[in-house]
Amino acid sequence: MPAKPHTSFATHDVTNQPGLRTDRDLWADDPALRQAARLADADKQALAKAGACLGSAEMWEHAEDARRDAPRLRVFDRAGRRCDEVAFHPGYHALLRAGMELGYVAHAWKGQPGGHATHAAMVYFMAQVEPGVCCPLTMTYAAVAALRGSKLAESWVPRLTALAYDPAIEPIGRKHAATMGMAMTEKQGGSDVRTNTTTATPQGDHYILRGHKWFCSAPMSDGFLTLAQAPGGLTCFLVPRWLDDGRNTIHLMRLKDKLGNRANASAEIEYHDATAFRLGEEGQGIKTIIEMVHHTRLDTAMAPAGLMRAALAEAYWWVAHRAAFQHRLIDQPLMRAVMADLTLETDAALALGMGAARAFDGTSQADRAFARISVALAKFISNKRAPVMIVEAMECLGGMGYVEETPMPMLYREAPLNGIWEGSGNIICLDILRTLARDPLAAETLSARLNASTGLDRRFDATLRAHQDRWPALPAEAEARWFAESAANLLAAAYLLELGNGAVAEGFIATRLHGNRGHVLGSVSGIDIDAICERLGMVDG
């Protein structure tokens, strides 16, 4: 046992301070996740292993180290030779290794039931510990979707899905595991990638790329999927980081000074006649890359649930072990109302993310159509709620919530990211309208899923009727956000009813659908606060 720190000083004694959180079990301590995983046929044994591993004190220490010692850009070596490398703290590599070995990427592509749901739960875990590591892991997972069926798959997919991590600076043929990044947007276009100016010139069995990319996530990945203008139009390419005869000419211009996570690196890059290999047909770049985007969106829908869960757990630890005015914080009615409302937000985001993952695991055309619409709704609403929820959880700690020794500032800084990555709010809402307009099956499956929950709660039924009456057809573009919010809330309520969450489902419907609340978190009435708090052991503390 380590020696306990001193608590008595000449000026005061340390009292009324919660003890430090050490090992925790992200699986065993989360009944909402276990319910959702069971319904999604996820690999419970793998998740139990991952939850214990990633919740260990060792992993939390790795995460703190990786955040404290930020990545460093190394453009030249001491002799002035160009190397274009990013150096990371060993803690970052330890977390990446854990994610790969636990199957963050691999589980989704084993061809077993619940593979994407298992992956989604691991995103949820890692987002609670160090969300910066989710970036390279998520892109590696999503890249497999774009690569499958291509000539490049044979050499890349087995390494991307390996239960191993290999950070060596070596070409793909000499590695047993690999990661994949992406570099899509440019300064002049952003989300409008059709305006990209990077050129791709054919040269035998490969192409030569010249141009810039405004965002290149995880620049030490073994390869990058990127878009460039080939003779036949905008085309998707795989750009290897390392070549058999040395380094590819990918120049790292600078690292982004980001609001959010500090453990991971994002770079601005230039291709100086870099070697690239075509993925898909010339002129079909967006069609080729869309599968990667689609699968990345699953993770950007799931990560905010993990961030919210981490904030909720930290807030509960504080209020359960801290007293004010002669009472524990958790025993005070107003604090209990806040904690119950925070739980509703967290459980709804988890249900939406895992519900979308279930659709990803489906094999029918209807499943694919529902995956497209459900993941967009989940991404939109959960990322709008995450920053507000996390700052409210931060307030539960008072001044300590504003201090970097707690995870709350990191969680708050990270909260906006997933709402921006792979399509900000307006882009997602327009995609929702486009999907429903172009794919009748997407509209049919969404309607069927919502209608399947009628008869379980009269308030849900009334809200669904009001939604259908308000929008018998698709809304005008200016109402797209209102429509998306309404549909997403209904879908979350449907999932919570399906999960049998009792007081949580009823509380969410009463407050989010039926208007039995004010405009700020904790301003609730008429819900079973004790039963909702009980899900985190909050009644007994």
pLDDT in tens, 186-221: 998 777 888 899 999 999 999 999 999 999 989 999
Return the pLDDT at 540. 40
- Of the ranges 17-26, 268-277, 479-488, which one carries the lowest mean pLDDT score? 17-26
CA distance 483 to 105: 33
* 75's tokens: 């453009």
What element of type H or E holds 180?
strand 180-183
Q: What is the pLDDT of residue 2?
A: 67
Cβ-contact 522, 53 below 8 angstroms: no
* Contact yes or no for 184/234 (Cβ under 8 A): no
Across 333-401, the runs of DSSP E, i.e. the strands, are none
Supply the mean pLDDT for the chain: 95
Q: Is the pLDDT of residue 94 over 50?
A: yes
C-alpha closest to that of 191 among 431, 443, 515: 431
Long-range residue pairs from 246-254, CB within 8 A, at least 24 positions apart, any chain: 247/82, 247/83, 247/84, 248/274, 248/275, 249/273, 249/274, 249/275, 250/84, 250/219, 250/224, 250/274, 251/75, 251/82, 251/84, 252/73, 252/75, 252/84, 252/85, 252/86, 252/216, 252/219, 253/212, 254/73
Q: What is the pLDDT of residues 279-328, one digit of tens each?
A: 999 999 999 999 999 999 999 999 999 999 999 999 999 999 999 888 99
Residue type, 381: I
The first and second tokens of residue 442, run together, are 């997407």
Token duo for residue 464: 């669904």
Measured CA to CA, the distance from residue 362 to residue 148 in angstroms comes to 17
Tokens describing residue 215: 């965002």
Q: What pLDDT score does 539 carry?
A: 42
When pLDDT is averaged across residues 361-376 and rounded to a whole number, the result is 97
Token pair of 41 as six digits = 């046929």
pLDDT digits (tens, 9 = 90+) for 337-347: 999 999 999 99
pLDDT exceeds 90 at position 538: no
Quote the Cα angle for 291-292-293, to 5°.
90
Region 232-248 average pLDDT = 96
Bigger pLDDT: 541 or 263? 263
> What letter does residue 474 receive in the DSSP assignment?
P
- For residue 95, pLDDT beyond 90: yes
Q: What is the mean pLDDT of residues 355-363?
A: 97
**Measured between alpha carbons, how far is 500 from 81 in angstroms, rounded to an integer?**
62
Q: Tell me the three state secondary structure of residue 247.
A: strand
Examine the pLDDT at 541 and tell me if it is beyond 70: no
Residue 75 banded pLDDT, cuts 50, 70, 90: very high
Rounded alpha-carbon distances, angstroms, from residue 197 to 224, 226, 270: 17, 12, 12
CB 78 within 8 A of CB 22: no
Alpha-carbon gap, residue 137 to 152, rounded angstroms: 19
Kindly report, residue by residue over 371-398, the tens digit of the pLDDT: 999 999 999 999 999 999 999 999 999 9
Residue matched to tokens 């308030």 = 459
Q: Cβ(57)–Cβ(377) under 8 Å?
A: no
The structure's pTM equals: 0.96
DSSP 119: H
Cβ contact 315:325 at 8 Å: no
Helix (H) or strand (E) holding 459: helix 458-470
Q: How many helices (H) and strands (E) does the chain have?
A: 18, 13
- Conformational region of residue 168, where left means phi above 0, alpha means psi within -120 to 50, and beta covers everything else: beta
Kindly tell me if the per-residue pLDDT of 36 is higher than 80.
yes
Is the separation of the CB atoms in 301 and 382 below 8 Å?
yes
pLDDT given for residue 1 in this prediction: 61
> How many Å apart are CA 507 and CA 405, to the nearest integer?
33
267: confidence class by pLDDT, cuts 50, 70, 90: very high
Q: What confidence category does residue 535 fall into, taking pLDDT thresholds of 50, 70 and 90?
A: confident
Predicted confidence (pLDDT) at residue 12 exceeds the cutoff of 50: yes
Structure tokens at 131: 């969300």
pLDDT at 16: 87
